[in-house]
Amino acid sequence: MVKGKKIRRKMGNVDYGILYCIIILLAIGIVMVYSASSYYAMFHYGDSTIFLKKEAFAGLLGLIAMFVFMGIDYHKLKKVTLPLMVITIPLLLVVYAFPPTNGAYRWIPIGPFGTFQPSELAKYVVVLFLAFSLSSKGDGVKKFWTGIVPYIVVAGFYAGLVLAQKNLSIAALIMIVTFIVLFSAGGRLKHLFLYVAPTLVAVALAFTFSSDYRRARMLNFIDPWKDAAGDGYQLIQSFYALGAGGILGLGLGQSRQKTLYMPEPHNDFIFSIIGEELGLIGCIVIISLFIFLICKGIKVALEARDTYGTLLAMGITSVLAVQVIINIAVVTGSMPVTGVPLPFISYGGTSLAITMTAMGILLNISRQKETTK
């Protein structure tokens, strides 16, 4: 009998480059959350470490989840995809049973552990669905009405539920990632770019500019000084922070904008505080870490042992990449102000824990590359 190449299916080593990069970003995030939030926390809550403790706890849970999912075969996620899709719907609706925060219904209180944000789960549930269904679709994805439209409808349904919570940024992220995964699965360019993309843009613009107030708020980033004390205030403070930091920064903990000038500096605009304290060099280091992680994620997708792994890794990496791009673009005034956290860095227990879990799945995919012996 002629011996041929034997395909090895057992798990190998994780991609240590991804693992170390995640841990470095997590450490930077926890340190910067404390630095950015200490003054705000002391003024409002009388405890400068309140956000640090919550973020560290979420980080610990995230690390545990990451190492657990790193060891679980990602193919087992197929069995829980449908249940997760079903569970996510009532979670996205139950937020209306609780008082809004800043006019938005996005969070579910969970006692001393803070709040849970279902939209953070929804974006990865859509990725799980796309990877699971498209992996068995084959060339069927090349047909517009049966290969593209059903996925746009399902993703649009979840994005619509998120949009109803006044969370345009996460809703847009869901649709952008859906577009990327469909393209990665082999969707025809003419279907995606001639039909889908213009439709999504038209819907987004129609919603965005449906009222004079919303239109003014979205276009405010072009000239925030028109309403410096209103909608433009946060972006202007971001400019001041980034400008004050210069090349080397003012030093860790030395930000001036975090002393009640920047609203909630530990949240979506934490990158501007990083620029103020660590300077251009600090910003470049963090951006470089994200670029490295995204490139590694794409490499994992290309080397995955099957189509399901490829699409799942591409979806997870796309969520990370789109969030990073949008967050930094907002902070630097390159696009309208939206509420997208910077992964691993911005304060937010739900976002951090779920992102770390997704990284565990990505690491598991990296352990199952197609190898021969």
pTM, rounded to two decimals: 0.92
Who contacts 156 (Cβ-Cβ below 8 Å, separation ≥6)?
175
Per the CB < 8 A criterion, the answer to whether 166 and 104 are in contact is: yes
* Section 62-84 average pLDDT: 95
Q: Could you identify the residue written with the tokens 């995606």? A: 192
**Alpha carbons 143 and 357: distance in angstroms, whole number:** 33
Q: What is the pLDDT of residue 209?
A: 67
Mean pLDDT is lowest, of 119-128, 134-143, 234-243, 306-315, for 134-143
Q: Let me know: does 33 contact 341? Beta carbons within 8 Å.
A: no
Asked if pLDDT for residue 237 goes beyond 60, the answer is yes
Res 226: pLDDT = 83
Q: What is the per-residue pLDDT for 320? A: 96
> In the numeric block, which tokens belong to residue 297?
């994620």
Residue 101 has φ and ψ, to the nearest 5°, of -115, 120
**What confidence tier does 2 reach under pLDDT thresholds 50, 70, 90?**
very low
- Residue 133 amino acid letter: S
Most confident of the ranges 96-110, 123-137, 197-211, 332-346? 123-137
Phi, psi of 347 (to 5 degrees): -70, 135
For the chain, the average pLDDT equals: 88
User: What is the Cα–Cα distance from 119 to 113, expressed in whole angstroms?
Assistant: 18
Q: Report CA dihedral (324, 328, 329, 333) to the nearest 10 degrees.
A: 160
